[in-house]
Structure 1
Amino acid sequence: MNVSALLAANGRKYADKPALVTEEVAVTFSEWNEIASRWAYRLRQLGVEPGDRVVLMLPNCPEFAFFYIAVIRCHALVVPINARSTKEEVRYICQHAQAKALIVHEALVHAVHEWIEEEPGLIAIKTGNSQGAWQGTAAWDAEEDVRLEEFGINPDAPDVTEDSEVSILYTSGTTGRPKGVLYTHRSLLTVAKMMAIELSIQHRSRILQLMPLSHSAPLHLFFISGLMVGATQVMALTFSPKLLLSLVQKQRITHFFGAPVAYLLTMKHPEFAKYDLSSVEYWMYGGAPLSREMAVQLEQAYGRDKLACVYGLTEAGPTGTCLLHREHPDKVGSVGNRGVLFAEVEVVDENGLPVPPGTPGEVRVRGEGSMKGYYNNPEATRETLRDGWIYTGDIGRFDEDGFLWIVDRKKDVMITGGVNVYPKEIEQLLERHPAIAEVAVVGVPHPEWGETVTAYLVLCPDVDAKRDWLAEVRGFLSGHLADYKLPRQVAVIPQLPRNTSGKVLKHVLRESPSAKEVELT
């Protein structure tokens, strides 16, 4: 089996069933299958060869789905990137991946047009009409001279094995340059099957895709899973709380995956209670830490019986663990007590040996959904992929009942006075402060103590930024944390620096001067 063959089979089996639905159009499985083959032919005509890398800079739209399969049918590697990527980010990825072609949505051409004119060797393709150096797709569907046999294009791809390379996803790059995660068909099929079984995704399911399909969880766990079982996928270009609510109600959505912030923003919508969300079978969240307090808030808004936390990372497929709120309501805030189907999870010390319950260590994951390696980066591959295990870089601990709690990112752990301090522990307490909207805690280098615990605050509207926030923060945390964990520097900033995936760029904060410091004694 391979990803192209999934669509070929469902194009025959569910020929007239809606596969891709937007506010404007509904595309059936047979139409998706036919367009993907036709566009694969056009890509080969333009010079895309087997083994080439093709970068997709597309939001969640039918064209994403068409090109995703079309590139695979060229036996090329598909490289989806965030539609909000900057020109420099696109340039870096195209150069690192040695891309043969860049495919961009017509609404995003302005972001990279100037750079494209400097890269004559890169095939530039856009949705809509042709424009200068850009080949447009508008005329492709009207052209009749499509001869798949000319380039050996076979939708069932019988010569493609599960071990064939299929795609590259670039990591978020929160600590530096993003790395390209290389997958095989086996990787994608494994995690898609896992999610379909774990969370009951079936041919009758209706999946809402509002999170960027350039991310591994929405792409592999839900897009590929939906393709595999013949589910209908509802797509929209962007996320907004109102759009989420209205689409769930109108389209009778059964499955939605989102980052925690999507749920937190949506439940604050003034008309939240007016919408009929009863069709949803699973509200799934992951991709960012969620405190127990926030998880309980989600239960109150969305219903305990329908909430599921998924934990994993891009390099692992993603695959890892899953927690159904209804099964373990007393363990909400953890990420579950077992590896999901086809995956094993352990917490180990620096020597790779499992640690006892209650002891923090690095989380590692093993399974057939894992990456083949980092593209063109053997050193990083050896560091992350060892003896079949993906070392996640997350610090976690199992409790006495076997539930895994994520403590922090390994690279974010601060060492002050020779003692480990976990930023997440401080952040989750400060999130309870009524005047603090967002917070990030980092370690700033100090000549004597190693690192200084530093808190960056984003205040709620109309809160006085000139208050003595250092004293207020330390007073608020006093009694909850040991003295050595209390911030010794506090800075009030207008917003936290984030990448296009929405993740906080802590390395940027570490390099910024802090606003205030107390005497280290």
Structure 2
Amino acid sequence: MFPGIHSAVTPDKAAVIVASTGAEITYAELEVRSARFARWMFDAGLRRGDHIAVLTDNDPTIFELYWGALRSGLYITVVNHHGTVDDLAYVITDSGARVLVASAALAGLAEDLAGRVPPTCRRLAFGGPVAGYELYEDTMSGVSSQPLAEQPRGSDMAYSSGTTGRPKGIKSPLPDRQIHEAPADALAVLVEAQFGFGPDTVYLSPAPIYHAAPLRYSAATQALGGTVVLMDRFEAEKALATIDRYAVTHSQWVPTHFIRMLKLPEQTRERYDLSSLHVALHAAAPCPIEVKQAMLDWWGDVLYEYYSCSENNGSTLINSEEWRRKPGSVGRDGLQGIAHICGDDGRELGPHEVGLIYFQRDDWYFEYHGDPEKTADARHPDHPTWTTVGDVGYLDEDRYLYLTDRATFMIISGGVNIYPQQVENCLSMHPAILDVAVIGVPDPEMGQAVRAVVQLMPGMSPSDDLAHNIIDFARDRLAHYTCPRSVQFVDNLPRTETGKLAKHRL
């Protein structure tokens, strides 16, 4: 399963459509362009195991760069263009990238980076001139598009989102096979079997393509011969209009997307035909029960929730029918890896006991690039095939997993552990709240006190009365010791575009 195979059978079929303009890249075009880029990199001296980096917005050119790297045995990192110049320069340098390809749409950021990356890193810019970069289109114009004789399969190398500190590269061994050889990419096999991805799939990607899930699921769609519909950025009504316009069959979301769409006026939501939608995946952050129920009432039983991470050390899955029986769960283990819940001492805990989530996966290995200490910390002290990314939760008696929070976000107030996610889920349904984070602040008596940091809906104004109303809203629904004792109003919260709160910034 590789787009080049589909170019021979359905050359004029769209591999990707730009949602805002309708512009297309066909499978024939994707094959020629990715093969040309692969040959250019080979001629430039890059070989299996080398690394390239890409700085881009949601531009469809990413797919020729991605497949060019993957058919060359290279690692590719798509950097988060919302990061600081320091962060981006760190990632590009840390990865050892020998080529940086940047979009002219991000010219200012690209120019700032030009002097910050190693001189051995060759710089190309597509879509227009950028100072300090070769023009990608001119550089490729004289290069042959004949595929290389050897096309070892490469891999993406995602960097952690950095919600708790500086991002780290997540590196897995390269597959020992050619791009077109079996077995196919594991994610393509999984989405074909679990969600019916295939040649008839029209997959909507509304999230930033630099994140692991949007990039990997879009690539899996193309590996199976479907069509990716790429939004420039998420906007609630435009997302619904895009489903209607392109008869989208599969899509992927985060809870923040759901909340924004649910807060559209009812007449706006009813304006669009969503009947083509067969599968709506969601992940990245726990979905509040009230939000999930409202989405099921609106879209029907097309919702599938999974829990995974960029490290890909394990995953769970739950469909709509299961979730109605197990509200709040992110699914059963066994999809990829076996879940274990462990205490601080490493001891495995029983059903409904909250602890650190480990996955046992004997067929998968990852390391944090250049950080053996963090790699070691991710492994269980007694079971080296059990790994964790720091999330906290519990299994019920049927092995359904429930998330509570990340260990680093836990609040300890009066000696009691409080997991902010539960409070955030509750407050997200307050009619005046657009976004909310719950954190611990120093308290001379309790050690820490719970504070809600709130971004209000447009047209709402902060006030003491509203703060008291928000606290009462939580107290009517949650155990009182978990509820905020104070509310702070802010203009915006530091949230990544996959919906994760960057709480270290708060």
One-letter amino acid of the counterpart of residue 330, structure 1: R
* SS, match of residue 223 in structure 1: helix
The answer on whether the counterparts of 1:61 and 1:237 sit within 8 Å (CA) in structure 2 is yes
After the TM superposition, which of the residue ranges 498-507 and 352-361 deviates more from structure 2? 498-507
Q: In the alignment, which residue of structure 1 is the partner of 2:260?
A: 265
In the alignment, the residues of structure 2 paired with residue 267 and residue 486 of structure 1 have an alpha-carbon distance, to the nearest angstrom, of: 25
Q: In the alignment, which residue of structure 1 is the partner of 2:179?
A: none
* SS, match of residue 54 in structure 1: strand
Query: C-alpha deviations, 1:377-408, integer Å up to 9, x for none?
Result: 11111111342222131111223443221111
One-letter amino acid of the counterpart of residue 236, structure 1: M
Matches within 5 A, 1:497-516: 497-499=494-496, 501-509=498-506
Query: C-alpha deviations, 1:415-461, integer Å up to 9, x for none?
Result: 12222111122222323433333221112244553322222122334
Question: How big is the shift at 1:107?
Answer: 0.6
The answer on whether the counterparts of 2:203 and 2:249 sit within 8 Å (CA) in structure 1 is yes
In the alignment, the residues of structure 1 paired with residue 247 and residue 139 of structure 2 have an alpha-carbon distance, to the nearest angstrom, of: 33
Indicate which of 2, 18, 23 corresponds to 2:14.
Answer: 18
* SS, match of residue 273 in structure 2: coil
One-letter amino acid of the counterpart of residue 206, structure 1: V
In the alignment, the residues of structure 2 paired with residue 504 and residue 131 of structure 1 have an alpha-carbon distance, to the nearest angstrom, of: 33
The answer on whether the counterparts of 2:323 and 2:329 sit within 8 Å (CA) in structure 1 is no
In the alignment, the residues of structure 2 paired with residue 367 and residue 14 of structure 1 have an alpha-carbon distance, to the nearest angstrom, of: 37
After the TM superposition, which of the residue ranges 171-180 and 329-338 deviates more from structure 2? 329-338
One-letter amino acid of the counterpart of residue 61, structure 2: E
The answer on whether the counterparts of 1:116 and 1:122 sit within 8 Å (CA) in structure 2 is no
Q: Does 1:488 align with 2:482?
A: no
The answer on whether the counterparts of 2:53 and 2:78 sit within 8 Å (CA) in structure 1 is yes
* SS, match of residue 171 in structure 1: coil
Question: How big is the shift at 1:479?
Answer: 5.4
Query: C-alpha deviations, 1:49-76, integer Å up to 9, x for none?
Result: 4433211112333310000121233433
Gap change, CA 1:288 and 1:253, over 3 Å in 2:
same
Q: Does 1:359 align with 2:349?
A: no
Q: Does 1:168 align with 2:167?
A: no
In the alignment, the residues of structure 2 paired with residue 401 and residue 433 of structure 1 have an alpha-carbon distance, to the nearest angstrom, of: 32
One-letter amino acid of the counterpart of residue 223, structure 1: S
After the TM superposition, which of the residue ranges 248-257 and 499-508 deviates more from structure 2? 499-508
Gaps of 5+ in 1: 510-521
In the alignment, the residues of structure 2 paired with residue 84 and residue 483 of structure 1 have an alpha-carbon distance, to the nearest angstrom, of: 37
One-letter amino acid of the counterpart of residue 292, structure 1: I
The answer on whether the counterparts of 1:325 and 1:332 sit within 8 Å (CA) in structure 2 is no
Identity of aligned residues (%): 26
Indicate which of 1, 5, 9 corresponds to 1:9.
Answer: 5
Indicate which of 98, 101, 123 corresponds to 1:100.
Answer: 98
The answer on whether the counterparts of 2:207 and 2:231 sit within 8 Å (CA) in structure 1 is no
The answer on whether the counterparts of 1:167 and 1:183 sit within 8 Å (CA) in structure 2 is no
Question: How big is the shift at 1:325?
Answer: 0.7
The answer on whether the counterparts of 2:284 and 2:499 sit within 8 Å (CA) in structure 1 is no
Question: How big is the shift at 1:173?
Answer: 0.4
Gap change, CA 1:253 and 1:368, over 3 Å in 2:
farther
Gaps of 5+ in 2: 176-182
Q: In the alignment, which residue of structure 2 is the partner of 1:425?
A: 422
Q: What RMSD in Å do the two structures reach over aligned CA positions?
A: 2.7
Gap change, CA 1:370 and 1:291, over 3 Å in 2:
farther
In the alignment, the residues of structure 2 paired with residue 433 and residue 238 of structure 1 have an alpha-carbon distance, to the nearest angstrom, of: 26
The answer on whether the counterparts of 1:205 and 1:254 sit within 8 Å (CA) in structure 2 is yes
Q: In the alignment, which residue of structure 1 is the partner of 2:283?
A: 286
* SS, match of residue 110 in structure 2: helix
Matches within 5 A, 1:31-46: 31-46=29-44
Q: Does 1:190 align with 2:190?
A: no
In the alignment, the residues of structure 2 paired with residue 105 and residue 368 of structure 1 have an alpha-carbon distance, to the nearest angstrom, of: 39
Gap change, CA 1:107 and 1:34, over 3 Å in 2:
same
After the TM superposition, which of the residue ranges 228-237 and 484-493 deviates more from structure 2? 484-493
Indicate which of 237, 245, 251 corresponds to 2:246.
Answer: 251
One-letter amino acid of the counterpart of residue 41, structure 1: R
Question: How big is the shift at 1:471?
Answer: 4.4
Gap change, CA 1:373 and 1:185, over 3 Å in 2:
same
The answer on whether the counterparts of 2:467 and 2:486 sit within 8 Å (CA) in structure 1 is yes
Matches within 5 A, 1:46-57: 46=44, 48-57=46-55
